[in-house]
Amino acid sequence: MHMQTDICIVGDGAVGKVAALGFAQAGLKVTLLRPVRTTPVTSSHDAWDVRVYAVNHTAHALLASAKVWDALDMSRVAPVDSMAVQGDGAHAGALGLDAYGARVGALAWIVEDSNLNQALDAALKFSSNVKMVSGQATAIKLDVQAAHITLENGDTVSAELLVGADGGQSWVRAQCDIGFDYRSYGQRAIVTNFDCEKPHRGVAHQWFSAEDGIIALLPLPGNRVSLVWSAPDALADKLLKESMSQLAHRLSTYAHAELGTLTPLQPEIAKSFPLSLIRPHAITAPRVALIGDAAHVVHPLAGHGMNLGFADVEALVRIVAERGEHRDCGDARVLARYARARKEDILIMQLATDGLARLFGTDIEPVRMVRNLGLNLVNHLPVLKRRLIGHALGKSL
């Protein structure tokens, strides 16, 4: 079977799904390729997903425009009213950011991966312009008029524009011979959830430690918090072998004063994933655009990996929609505009997250003093602090 479409998206994660909805709203025909699942994805409504995202204002606006935000189970969404960042050592620096100072209702919203994807799946079912096709892509052929994708069952899809939304190990990127720079951080992110004895009051806590890595406890609805611990590999191996109660005890060194005793949520689940920096040499190729982790993988210390992907979607959908009647979706000049539009934002986030990861991963006393001084300095400079908050929100202040 041969399918003709305006946009073909490879990858059915949250970024790919939002892109499909955005292009469909722009009046374009979209084919969304999703892998064949041998086992159904199931989750208990009562269990809290250990994979969460800190959705900023840019991402919030995109989800709202796609009619997805209001479809979320809002009883499972927690606003972040403020952030408390703590340095390390005897003279630890500190930085506080709050929604009141930024004149916004919330700095961000903590959303579970399952909650987000369920809302996206529901929206896709009602989108007449989106055709979802299950199958593995095996080959790409590009010509002056279209990108042609062959599936493992022999079916083909021809599209004016092929969008790679297939993650950090992107098959689309590899097929287009787009090189990339890769560096492992020698860390793994440990994610799980806890009940906390004291109310978190909507505060996202983050501690930087050269020895233990970067620990973040993000607010969930009720007296619950979600842990994202970017731990050095050797420590991560120990954490994964320990019980959840032992993990909670380790965290008490940092969090007890603010949150009291932490108790593992039932069922007790902890997951981990390796952390790396991936910088593709380009985010476009003839008739191809990369979005999300296919276009960039950054350290999660700022919580903006998903937001960066949603910003890709916003830019690509807008630029394609504004292309003019005489250009098709995959026109070279359209793709060049997309690459230019995303270059600065991606570079800033890569430099910021990589720089902070390197800075706080150095256990040398003079460096420790400088970084703690830097946190305190930013905390007492309103103009710089306001710019930092604005970049975190994804909007100008």
pLDDT tens for the chain, residues 1 to 397? 899 999 999 998 999 999 999 999 999 999 999 887 655 555 556 789 999 999 999 999 999 999 999 999 999 999 999 999 888 766 677 888 888 877 888 999 999 999 999 999 999 999 999 999 998 999 999 998 999 999 999 999 999 999 999 999 999 999 999 999 999 999 999 999 999 999 999 999 999 888 899 999 999 999 999 999 999 999 999 999 999 999 999 999 999 999 999 999 988 899 999 999 999 999 999 999 999 999 999 998 877 889 999 999 999 999 999 998 889 999 999 999 999 999 999 998 898 888 878 777 766 666 666 666 776 666 666 666 666 666 666 665 4
For the chain, domains (ranges, CATH) are 2-49+115-181+276-357 (3.50.50.60)
Residue 148 φ/ψ, nearest 5 degrees: -115, 120
Do residues 297 and 353 make contact, with C-beta atoms less than 8 angstroms apart? Answer: no
Q: How far is CA 102 from CA 84, 105, 108, 260, 379, in A?
A: 15, 9, 12, 28, 14
Q: Which two tokens stand for residue 377?
A: 């300095």
Q: How far apart are CA 14 and CA 306, in angstroms?
A: 9
Indicate yes or no: pTM above 0.75: yes
| CA-wise closest residue to 162 among 181, 177, 179, 176 | 176
Q: How far apart are the first and last CA of the chain?
A: 51
Q: How far apart are CA 210 and CA 362, in angstroms?
A: 6
pLDDT of residue 348: 87
Q: How far apart are CA 11 and CA 17, in angstroms?
A: 8
pLDDT of residue 243: 94
Q: Which two tokens stand for residue 370?
A: 């400088």
Q: How far apart are CA 66 and CA 56, in angstroms?
A: 15
